[in-house]
Amino acid sequence: MTFGIVVEDQRDANVYSALIKRIRPDVDVVLERPCRGVAGVRQRFVGWLKNFEWHAGYHVAKALIIRDCDRLEPRDAEDELARILKQSGFQPSFPVHFYATRREVETWLLADESAVNLVARTRQKVPTAQTVAGSLEDISDAKERFQRMLSQARLMADPAVYAEVAAVTDFDRISGRCPYFQQFVNCVRAC
């Protein structure tokens, strides 16, 4: 099966692709379309859906449009994307789902410092990432904190490292510390 995703940037694309393939083992290909932030997602996702429909070179079975909340309630952000698609008049032949991450994708990666340490060991770095205390879905600087966690383990904050961490992170740890993660799992499994 082929999934199409429209996301904010390449790091997000790598993380979501890795997570989707773990949640849905029947997904062979994830077509990633990064858009340079929330504004880019809002402005470009309909065009990318048209690309998935007619020019992707794959039969896209499902598309997932993903953005950060930007201080909105997740449902409000998802409804905004649905309105944009409806107003465009474009109706793809495949199901389209919308998902707004409660904060940032880095919030989920912060939940499991052992995944960062595992990637550090794999890359022959120092596994010294420390636990981030508190309610992760309430912090507003997840990206900066995750990048500090990577720095503790002497890892670069690049898309490849993000993907490696996502590929080994413990879903139970994410779900336990970031309850809204389950909505993402449900969205990926839908249809």
pLDDT digits (tens, 9 = 90+) for 137-173: 888 889 999 999 999 999 999 999 999 999 999 999 9
Beta strands in the chain (DSSP E): 2-7, 29-34, 60-68, 96-101
CA distances (Å), origin 73, targets 5, 44, 79, 103: 21, 22, 10, 10
CATH 3.40.50 applies to domain 2-102+179-189: yes
- d(CA 68, CA 105) in angstroms, rounded, equals 8
- d(CA 77, CA 138) in angstroms, rounded, equals 17
**Is pLDDT of 76 > 80?**
yes
Confidence of residue 191 (pLDDT cuts 50, 70, 90): low
Tokens 């309105």: give the residue. Answer: 83
Assign residue 146 a region: left if phi > 0, alpha if psi is -120 to 50, beta otherwise? Answer: alpha
Looking only at the bridges linking them, the beta strands covering 2-7 and 60-68 are parallel
- d(CA 47, CA 35) in angstroms, rounded, equals 11
Confidence of residue 86 (pLDDT cuts 50, 70, 90): very high
Tell me how long the chain is. 191
The DSSP symbol for 138 reads G
- CATH 3.40.50 maps onto the chain at 2-102+179-189
Distance separating the N- and C-terminal Cα atoms of the chain: 12
The helix/strand/coil state of 62 is: strand
Confidence of residue 57 (pLDDT cuts 50, 70, 90): confident
**Is pLDDT of 41 > 80?**
yes
Q: Which pair of tokens denotes residue 165?
A: 């961490």
> What radius of gyration, in Å, describes the C-alpha atoms of the chain?
16
Give the Cβ contact number of residue 179 at 10 Å: 13
User: Helices (H), strands (E): how many in the chain?
Assistant: 9, 4
The rounded mean pLDDT for the chain is: 93
